[in-house]
Structure 1
Amino acid sequence: MEKIGFDSKKYIEEQSRYILERVNHYDKLYLEFGGKLIGDKHAKRVLPGFDEDAKIKLLQRLKDQAEIVICVYAGDIERNKIRGDYGITYDMDVFRLIDEFREFGLKVNSVVITRYHGQPSTRLFINKLQKRDILVYTHHSIEGYPSNIDLITSDEGFGQNEFIETTKPIVVVTSPGGGSGKLATCLNQLYHENRLGRKAGYSKFETFPVWNIPLKHPLNVAYEAATVDLKDVNMIDNFHYEKYNQIAVNYNRDIETFPIIKRIIEKITGKESVYQSPTDMGVNRVGFGITDDEVVQEASKQEIIRRSFATECDYKKGLIGEDILYRMKMLLEDVGVKQEDRLPVQPAREYAKKLRSQAETNDAKSVMAFELKDGRIVTGRTSNLMDSSSAAILNSIKVLANVADEIPLLSLTILETIQKTKAEVLHNRMPVLNANEILIALAISAVTNPTAQLCYNKLSELSGVQAHSTVMLKKDDEQILRNLGLDITSDPVYSSENLYYI
């Protein structure tokens, strides 16, 4: 049974109460939301018991008082930046977010394109939004932002950017990812609100790092691991300590920019800021939901290991530099863990080693190992018929359904026909069946085969299973495993010498 270390209900109640207290000081509160509003799987992994949709459910409580503004940086649209957990570009993620916010009954006010200078792909994206009756605003870069305060708080600074008309007392400003311009959008709004004679405020809702736990707590180190490519570093908030004689944890960018943000707010409002530290600006109460610190620490250590594998794979693909790889190794050492502390790693590697010795070759062998929630390890390997992900899925649901290994779930004739269609009709050079194709075959077989139906019903029990691959997976397979709810890691090894057909 999965150990629980976090009380989501208590957290939602505490967090909503605290936000409402902050709103009471203003006519309108601009609330910058960091992290994911929907499907926060990082928080779910490091805080066992955390509802991955806790933040959106929190906003549901406040829906009569809140509306949402989505920011996206034009440069991220131009370079087709990918949101790693969903495998989709940021422009597509904006559409996804709008759909999901609407499903939760939340009002989406508009989309703001930040640092926009007429980039062609972004113009096309704006056109798509407008054709679907989505209100779009564009904000331009301000030279010297954020240090040139006089320019920023002038007609040539925020004054040149459009004012977003809003109607609710809480305006949630969110985005597909970091660096999207949420803070600048909030400050832009404060500038215009103040010129209109309205009392508006700014707060930040950033789940991590957790300000009221120790700096080197694995939960906070896991945040550094999750943002290692951004080079975020957790630090003691010296402003908070000097003012209140209380230790609080924040991260380098917030601490470094706090004096400037404080001065911008004071220049806009003409009053001394109510915030004396970056921690003051936050409304994060997640630390108060922790019920078992030992469980949270262990879950956080496992997350750091998972992130280390992802970093090594990104380095192998040429996506990051050696400095980031080195930083991640330091984070592993900080919490005293190694990659082999992830249970499915060694069984996968040992099976691959065995296959290499049998083949008398050093070629990479694609093996997948699943650690089921009861601790059992199940493996699968790539064959001429199916890849390792498919094999591991089928083998695991047979184990969960207590079906003997020698009993086939799927007709070999059907699988070979599918494979022949891929190769001869669709002209696919890699006809090995992937996880998506095997799951479709399983669903069809379940209609007439009671054993297949029994195993099909066990697919939901794969959610929360830990998995490791001895080679880097194709995006399609990785996404299928994530959709099933598995936490997957891979060794930084290509599955073949091919550059395109892998």
Structure 2
Amino acid sequence: MMKKGFDPQKYIEEQSKFILERVHNYDKLYLEFGGKLIGDKHAKRVLPGFDEDAKIKLLAKLKDDAEIIICVHAGDIEKNKIRGDYGITYDMDVLRQIDELRGYGLIVNSVVITRYNGQPSTKLFINKLERRDIRVYKHSAIEGYPSNIDKIVSEEGYGKNEYITTTKPIVVVTAPGPGSGKLATCLNQLYHEHRHGRAAGYSKFETFPVWNVPLKHPLNIAYEAATVDLKDVNMMDYFHFEKYGQVAVNYNRDLEMFPVIRRIIEKITGKESVYQSPTDMGVNRVGFGITDDEVIREASKQEIIRRCFATECDFKKGIIDEEILSRMMLIMEELELKKEDRRTVGPARKYSERLREHAGSNDVPAVIAFELPDGRIITGRSSSLMDSCSAAILNSIKKLANIGDEIYLLSPVIIETIQNLKRRDLHSRITALNANEILIALSIGAVTNPTAQLAIEKLSELKGVQAHSTVMLNKDDEQILRKLGIDVTSDPVYPSENLYYV
């Protein structure tokens, strides 16, 4: 079991206190939330002990004073951009976030469509929102943004975009992912607030990079690995050092944009900006929650390896270009990391190689290895009955429940009946049961089989398990493993030569 290196309660207390101190300087504070507001799995992995829903729980503490605006870029809707950790499009993630936020008792003010130009798919999404009584605002791109400040801060710039009516002193601006227009929305609101004679301010809540952790700390390098497709690079905040003589870490996009943001704020308010650096603009206190630096370092290195596998798979699928892959390999070399440093990689590959030699084939047999909380490695392989994920899940929960290998959790007759259904009635070419089908069959069997019930009760203990597959998994299995809380990586190998049935 991985040791904890982070105190989530201390973090929430420190963070909420700091936000409230910032709010007291204004009638209204627009707080740009970077990263994931709900389900921040990257933070959970690199900061063992971090609550992946810490940000939303923090906001729940402030719910009497806060409301939320969700931004989404029209271009991302048109491209059906996918949020990787959930496997859903950005427009669907907006709906998911609204449901989650309401579940915490938080007020969702509206959805803002940024850089809107009448795109067809976006129009349909707007209709869907409005017919569910969700307010929608449409902001168009501003010509010359962000360099033409005179035009931006004018009736032809922010003045053309709609003002979002808000009532709370804290307005959180969030989005499904980067590039959604959160900053532009905040500054647009500042423009309109000051035109109405209200003192409004802007701050940024960005968890990574951690400003008070060294530049080359694995925790900050893990952020570069997570954003390798965005080409983010951590840098020393030279504005902060020049003003205060204090070393702080930020990243290239914020440093590049800071002079422009400061000039825009000064032009809006007619006063010198209170912020002297990008670090000044932030309200990030995550570094103060770290309790064991060595634990954080090791967890961050493991996350970098995980990101390396994900990048290789994306390259194999044609999603990213070679430049991004090369950048990831440089990050691995910088910390002298090897993919085999992930404990599940070796056992999965060795078992797959034994199967390949036995079969006398050049194909890579699908094998997945799980590292259980107590350190045991459990493997599963694909067969004519079930895929490797299904086998590994069944093998693991049997071990956790101390059920002998020779005991069947599922009758072969049940598996054969499901396969016949898939083959005969559903006309599927792939009849081996996937993880979802196996778990449904196991749940049904548990009604009359006490042994199956004993095993299924152990599923919750798979949360936090590390896994590695010798082939790339299909989306259904990836989603099941994710829902079980299993962190899986894959070698960049297709499971078969089929172009569609993969």
TM-score (norm 1): 1.00
* Alignment-mate amino acid for residue 371 of structure 1: E
Aligned CA-pair RMSD: 0.6
Partner of 2:146: 146
Deviations 1:308-342 (A, max 9, x none): 00000000001111111011111112222110000
1:282-306 Cα shifts (integer Å, max 9, x gaps): 0000000000000000000000000
* Aligned twin of 1:161: 161
- 1:366 corresponds in structure 2 to 366
Aligned to 1:106: 106
Q: Which residue number corresponds to residue 191 of structure 2?
A: 191
| Alpha-carbon distance, 1:391 to partner | 0.3
- Residue 273 of structure 2 is matched in structure 1 by 273
Q: CA deviation at 1:144?
A: 1.3
Whole-Å Cα distance in 2 between the matches of residues 223 and 333 of structure 1? 16
AA at the equivalent of 1:232: D
Distance in structure 1 (CA, Å) of the matches to 2:431 and 2:69: 45
Letter in 1 for 2:476: D
Structure-1 separation of matches of 2:142 and 2:297: 42
Match in the other structure for 2:208: 208
- Once the two structures are superposed, the pairs formed by residues 36-435 of structure 1 within 5 Å of their partners are 36-435=36-435
Matched to 2:151, the amino acid is: L
What displacement does 1:231 show?
0.4
Once residues 203 and 389 of structure 1 are traced to their aligned partners in structure 2, the CA distance between those partners, rounded to angstroms, is 44
- Secondary structure at the counterpart of residue 30 of structure 2: strand
Where 1:109 maps in the other structure, the secondary structure is: strand
Structure-2 separation of matches of 1:175 and 1:458: 35
In structure 1, what residue type is equivalent to 2:60? Q
Distance between the aligned counterparts of 2:471 and 2:240, measured in 1?
A: 46
- Which deviates more from structure 2 when the two are superposed, residues 231-240 or residues 331-340? 331-340
Moved more, 276-285 or 399-408: 399-408
2-structure distance, mates of 1:134, 1:422 = 41
Match of 1:478 in 2: 478
The alignment covers a number of residue pairs equal to 502
Q: Distance in 1 between matches of 2:480 and 2:115?
A: 35
CA distance in 2, matches of 1:425, 1:221: 51
What's the secondary structure of 2:265's corresponding residue? helix
Deviations 1:132-152 (A, max 9, x none): 000000000011111110110
Question: Are residues 1:443 and 2:453 paired?
Answer: no
SS of the aligned residue for 2:64 comes to coil
- Classify the secondary structure of the residue corresponding to 1:379: strand
Percent identity over the alignment is 77
Partner amino acid for 1:18?
Answer: F
Give, in whole Å, the separation in 2 of the partners of 1:60 and 1:385.
Answer: 46
Distance apart, 1:501 and its partner CA: 1.0
Distance in 2 (alpha carbons) for counterparts of 1:92 and 1:459:
28
Structure 1 residue runs of 4 or more that deviate by more than 3 Å after TM superposition = none
SS at match of 2:202: strand
State the Cα distance separating 1:2 from its structure 2 match: 2.9
Structure 1 regions of 5+ residues with no counterpart? none
Which position in structure 2 is the counterpart of 1:453?
Answer: 453
Query: Any idea what SS the aligned residue of 1:64 has?
Result: helix
Q: Distance in 2 between matches of 1:86 and 1:375?
A: 27
1:262-287, Cα deviation, whole Å (9 max, x unpaired) = 00000111100000000000000000
**Distance apart, 1:97 and its partner CA:** 0.3
Provide TM-score, normalisation by structure 2.
1.00
SS in 2 for 1:6: coil
Distance 2:334 2:197 in 1: 50
Q: Deviations over 1:440-497 (max 9, x none)?
A: 0111111111111111110000000000000000001001000000000000000001
Report the AA paired with residue 142 of structure 1.
I
- Partner Cα distance (1:82, 1:428) in 2: 26
Q: Distance in 1 between matches of 2:428 and 2:156?
A: 56
Cα distance in structure 1, aligned partners of 2:79 and 2:425: 34
